[in-house]
A and B are shown apart, each in its own frame.
Chain A
């Protein structure tokens, strides 16, 4: 497997469920990102990790909890979500956090909250 992979590709969950999204990159990158893509809205950056350390949290509600156990893996733990959290969640990685470095995106997890 090459590039950035995300699992699952689709997820339906109730508001009381707990689930996790997984992202894995095989590119040797040190920076990883979570984005939220909602219909008709610009891509929203949620979290940034650099060398496993969280460097940015863009005022994301605490019902979203990221985890980065190593530079290759990134998780997004979900609990007590709201229907408005339904969206495509994209993971990305880059060599460093510098804007000069291309971000490589995974295919996303399509999340539906009932």
Chain B
């Protein structure tokens, strides 16, 4: 069955430090992968998505993610975090052609240390 695993429930990094959030997926075909961010009191916002082509995907707010088929991973990275990046981050995989088939991970909460 298709699934998404975010192994880290909560991560704290210092402001200005680099960030990597892990995501592993299980899907038989070529996956469509997404990263969303949810700031406190807000809905989810799409950061980036991978459908095909270059395995390094650039997104908004300075984020990028790398698709690694051999590791079934789609980790999110940012070279230098800002206090405003504190939020919950969700990885997702589309298990079909419809948006209704998007499966979300449980999320990783990111805290920023001043």
Contact = CB atoms under 8 A, between A and B. Distances in A.
Q: A and B: partners? A: yes
A4 B43 CA distance: 9
A33 B100 contact: yes
Given A99-B32, A103-B46, A105-B44, A48 B51 contact: no
B42 interface: yes
Contacts of B97: 98-99
B43 A55 contact: no
Contacts of B96: 99
Size category, A interface: 20 to 34
The interface centre, meaning the residue of A31, A99, A107 with most chain B CB atoms within 10 A of its CB, is A99
Interface stretch (B17-25, B63-71, B75-83, B103-111): B103-111
Interface string A79-114: 000000000001110100111111111111000000
A55 B49 CA distance: 25
Interface in B13-49: 32, 41-46, 49
B43 A101 contact: no
A55 B99 CA distance: 12
Interface stretch (A11-19, A38-46, A59-67, A68-76): A38-46
B106 A55 contact: no
A17 B81 CA distance: 45
What are the 8 tightest A-B residue pairs by CB atom distance, in nearest-first order? A105-B43, A99-B94, A43-B104, A105-B44, A42-B104, A48-B100, A102-B46, A56-B100
Interface of B: 4, 32, 41-46, 49, 51, 90, 94, 96-107
Interface of A: 4, 31, 33, 40-43, 45, 48, 55-56, 90-92, 94, 97-108
